[in-house]
Structure 1
């Protein structure tokens, strides 16, 4: 672990200058500068003083952050097959995220689940086929290569009245699916 670099990162996050941190931790600006440039190392007691001056603790300072998964493969997907639609959960465990994407497949005559009014927003991109976006009593036809974007204030769902399967990338924020 690069202790000096992490101290500098925390100092900048807190909006402190070297001089302010030196004053709070009762250390010299020169020592902190050398520390941040990895030219010297602090004792544990000194590191504790610096970390406390930054509003943290040694336990928090040394806590390793979990590596966030950025890329998801087909083996990570969860598929929920129903008679009138299939949902591919293409990013697992999205309840902790700000948005939730799914890939929904609608066979001929298939309807999606109904989304009741909510405070979020939704985006969809038709990858294959065409769908009818039902918003309240309004019908909106969306073809392959086209998108939809709506607030969740009205009841809505997707329908497929074509003879081919429709595939839609559908993203909701906050996660609702």
Structure 2
């Protein structure tokens, strides 16, 4: 809840309605001074005042309490990707983090390496796209060789395993929902 600035939200909604501070204060039956203090973060409005402001501004009361999205935090620069290295596998996280319902990563699988000893399952649904090389994929009891440009959807709880039995490295782009690695 650290990204919530009620005053900035009040000001944003006020400006979107084309109201001056004085006009909103009058409609909400608070002093212009109090409204100014609220908008500048110097005073916290009571729940009753928030309800009145919401009604006058024609927005739901809870809209003042939603966290702000810092759009800069949504960007992942190529040289700042988080990396997870497990044995010889490298995962580069393309998503900013594991919060939310979706995570996307690049898995680099060197020659003669597999994602696990035995096929594993997880609760997340997965879609993978082979960027480079070839890779063997075990889906339940079946085996497939996927090449660059091929893709696969892996339903939740389906046992699977990635294995690079080929000479060149394989690079796999995948998304998982919900995030589970």
What TM-score do you get using the length of structure 2 for normalisation? 0.67
Aligned residues: 148
Contact 2:111 2:167 in 1 (8 A): yes
Residues 148-173 of structure 1: CA distance to partner in whole angstroms, max 9, x if unpaired?
11202321121111100000011111
1:98 matched to 2:79? The reply is no
Q: Which residue of 2 aligns with 1:12?
A: none
Indicate how the Cα distance of structure 1 residues 155 and 74 shifts in structure 2: closer, same or farther if over 3 A, else same: same
1:56 matched to 2:61? The reply is yes
**CA-CA distance at 1:42 after TM superposition:** 0.9
Q: Which residue of 2 aligns with 1:27?
A: none
Indicate how the Cα distance of structure 1 residues 50 and 76 shifts in structure 2: closer, same or farther if over 3 A, else same: same
Contact 2:74 2:96 in 1 (8 A): no
1:118 matched to 2:122? The reply is yes
Contact 1:106 1:166 in 2 (8 A): yes
> Aligned partners of 2:77, 2:113: CA distance in 1, in Å?
27
**CA-CA distance at 1:115 after TM superposition:** 6.4
> Aligned partners of 2:55, 2:24: CA distance in 1, in Å?
14
Q: Which residue of 1 aligns with 2:156?
A: 152
> Aligned partners of 1:172, 1:116: CA distance in 2, in Å?
14
> Aligned partners of 2:131, 2:164: CA distance in 1, in Å?
13
Residues 48-71 of structure 1: CA distance to partner in whole angstroms, max 9, x if unpaired?
3132675527xx638771413232
> Aligned partners of 1:50, 1:108: CA distance in 2, in Å?
63
Q: Which residue of 2 aligns with 1:164?
A: 168
> Aligned partners of 1:135, 1:92: CA distance in 2, in Å?
29
Q: Which residue of 2 aligns with 1:87?
A: 91
**CA-CA distance at 1:145 after TM superposition:** 1.0
Contact 1:84 1:109 in 2 (8 A): no
Question: What do you get for the CA RMSD once the two structures are aligned?
Answer: 3.1
